Chain A
Amino acid sequence: MTSAAHSSSAYIKIFYVLLVLTVAELAVVYMGLPKLFLAGALVVFAVWKAVLVAMHFMHLKFEKRTLAVVALVPFVLCVFLILMLMPDIFPH
């Protein structure tokens, strides 16, 4: 259906981006940056990679929006989970 958007070369391009991001992750770990900066960089890289896989390999970009809603539900629930556990994480 959307075979034009699914060309192999586009996938290879995504593969290289994922590869570069993985190497970047390793690089910031080995550089020994300050902890907060390191954590921030790693989270950004990881989420970036996850979004690339979901959007392109799992075709979320080319699907109806309803599927994206289905995919987003667990993330919203996880945010609630963290919020509900806040009293345990930061007891006063």
Chain B
Amino acid sequence: MSEAAVMDHAVVELQESPLTPESWGKLGMWLFLAGDAMSFGCLIVGYGILRHASSNWPVPKEVLGINLTAFMTFLLIVSSVWMVLALAAIQENNKPKFNKFLGLVILGGLMFLGCQAYEWTHLLTHRLPEAGISFTTSLFATTFFILTGFHGMHVTGGVIYNTCVLAAVNRGRYGAKHVEIAGLYWHFVDLVWILIFTFVYLL
């Protein structure tokens, strides 16, 4: 790109979006994520208050088990790193490397969902009945399934989103700018899981 073109580009972008140097899309994603963070914030605060107000709250790590979820946390953190490497690859215009890493991100998301499906099934059929907790009458079970379910829906959405981005990049419609915005969403999902893992499983 010539210097004149760079200058031109910078001026246009500045007029387009005074808030972010790159794009409106990024600002839009951040605004969405701020709203989404409020949704998760309300659920987590609600969970905290119900737990505080209950006299017979079970010890989460004894009922839920934390080894599988520790692995799930690891999966999301690794997939976040893959996302970052995918972005770096597309910024270098290295499509094969980009395909590899974004493919790994999608695979990591699918594996996370698989683990969660296994965990939920195991909880509903074994651990919760053994602990004498019923899904319909326990605040512990209700808040747990709402929180992890809401997050699981976000991961599902992220897998679909990333798959669409992978397809769009390979058809030449999307560039590094769009991958970065998808990355923001994926890292946010990772970030929320870090908090859920701590507040719901460990604490």
Binding site for B on A (CB under 8 A): 1, 3, 6, 8, 11-12, 14-15, 18-19, 22, 25-26, 29, 38-39, 42-43, 45-46, 49-50, 53-54, 57-59, 63-64, 66-67, 70-71, 73-75, 77-78, 81-82, 85, 88-89
Smallest distance from the beta carbon of A81 to chain B beta carbons, Å?
5
- Is B148 interfacial (CB-CB < 8 Å)? no
With both beta carbons as reference points, the residue of chain A lying nearest to B30 in the complex is identified as A70
CB<8 Å pairs between A and B, sample of 5:
A19-B77, A46-B199, A53-B187, A64-B19, A71-B30
As a 0/1 sequence over residues 78 to 93 of chain B, the CB contacts with chain A under 8 angstroms (1 = contact) are 1011011100100100
CB atoms of B195 and A15 under 8 A apart? no
Smallest distance from the beta carbon of A90 to chain B beta carbons, Å?
9
Binding site for A on B (CB under 8 A): 19-22, 27, 30-31, 33-35, 37-38, 41-42, 45, 49, 52-53, 61, 66, 70, 73-74, 77-78, 80-81, 83-85, 88, 91, 180, 183-184, 187-188, 190-191, 194-195, 197-199, 202-203
Report the separation of the CA atoms of residues A55 and B203 in the bound assembly, to the nearest whole angstrom. 25
Specify the main secondary structure of chain A where it touches its partner: helix
Given A42-B202, A45-B198, A74-B38, residue A57 in contact with residue B80 (CB < 8 A): yes
Smallest distance from the beta carbon of A88 to chain B beta carbons, Å?
7
Report the separation of the CA atoms of residues A46 and B191 in the bound assembly, to the nearest whole angstrom. 9
Give the chain B neighbours of A15 by CB distance below 8 A: 77-78, 80-81
CB atoms of B31 and A70 under 8 A apart? yes
With both beta carbons as reference points, the residue of chain B lying nearest to A63 in the complex is identified as B20
Q: Which of B34, B52, B85, B183 contacts A71 (CB 8 A)?
A: B34
Smallest distance from the beta carbon of A75 to chain B beta carbons, Å?
8
Given A26-B66, A42-B203, A78-B38, residue A58 in contact with residue B73 (CB < 8 A): no
CB atoms of A67 and B38 under 8 A apart? no
6 new A-B contacts, CB < 8 A, other than A1-B21, A58-B184, A74-B38, are: A38-B203, A42-B203, A57-B80, A58-B191, A73-B34, A75-B41
